[in-house]
């Protein structure tokens, strides 16, 4: 999600990861702006001179190994809205996570491990408040690569 508190290091990480996705999935991407519910729209090919979307992509970077915790969270608002974007467009919504030891992705569906209300240790500003989050099982992620992008 692009917003006024997105750090340059976050953007660098996202760009490095999405560049690797371009190679792996034979696609291009466009950064979604403002309070979009995904970081990127992945595209492939053109129709009438316009890039054709194939998926929405949210990217998260963690400093912990993949198997340190059994779940990872995504905010309920983002999860709900990405599912709605899929419903209305037919494009998949993908959650790509780069852990310290590998990268993987999960196609977002209505299946999840439950809802939680975390207290963040390092919020990115006064407008970034705690909110309900959806827990997703790390075991359900498909491995993309080992190590860092």
**pTM for this prediction:** 0.88
Q: What is the reported pLDDT for 127?
A: 60
Q: Could you list the mean pLDDT of each consecutive 10-residue stretch along the chain, which spans 149 residues?
A: 54 94 97 87 96 97 96 92 96 98 97 76 60 92 97
Q: What is the reported pLDDT for 1?
A: 36
Q: What is the reported pLDDT for 2?
A: 40
Q: Give me 100's structure tokens.
A: 């310290």
Q: What is the reported pLDDT for 6?
A: 56
Identify the structural domains of the chain with CATH numbers, from first to last.
Answer: 8-146 (3.40.1350.10)
Contacts of residue 24, Cβ cutoff 8 Å, sequence gap at least 6: 144
| In contact, 36 and 1? CB cutoff 8 Å | yes
Q: Give me 122's structure tokens.
A: 């390092």
d(CA 69, CA 66): 7
């Amino acid at each position: 999600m692009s917003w006024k508190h997105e750090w340059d290091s976050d953007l660098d990480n996202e760009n490095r990861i999405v560049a690797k996705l371009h190679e792996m999935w034979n696609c291009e991407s466009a950064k979604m702006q403002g309070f979009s519910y995904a970081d990127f729209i992945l595209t492939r090919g053109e129709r009438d001179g316009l890039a054709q979307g194939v998926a929405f992509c949210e990217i998260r970077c963690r400093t912990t190994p993949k198997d340190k915790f059994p779940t990872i969270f995504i905010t309920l608002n983002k999860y709900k809205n990405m599912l709605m974007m899929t419903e209305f467009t037919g494009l998949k919504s993908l959650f790509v996570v780069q852990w310290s030891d590998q990268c993987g992705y999960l196609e977002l569906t209505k299946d999840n491990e439950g809802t939680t209300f975390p207290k963040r240790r390092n919020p990115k500003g006064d407008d970034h408040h705690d909110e309900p989050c959806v827990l997703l099982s790390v075991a359900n992620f498909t491995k993309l690569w080992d190590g860092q992008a």
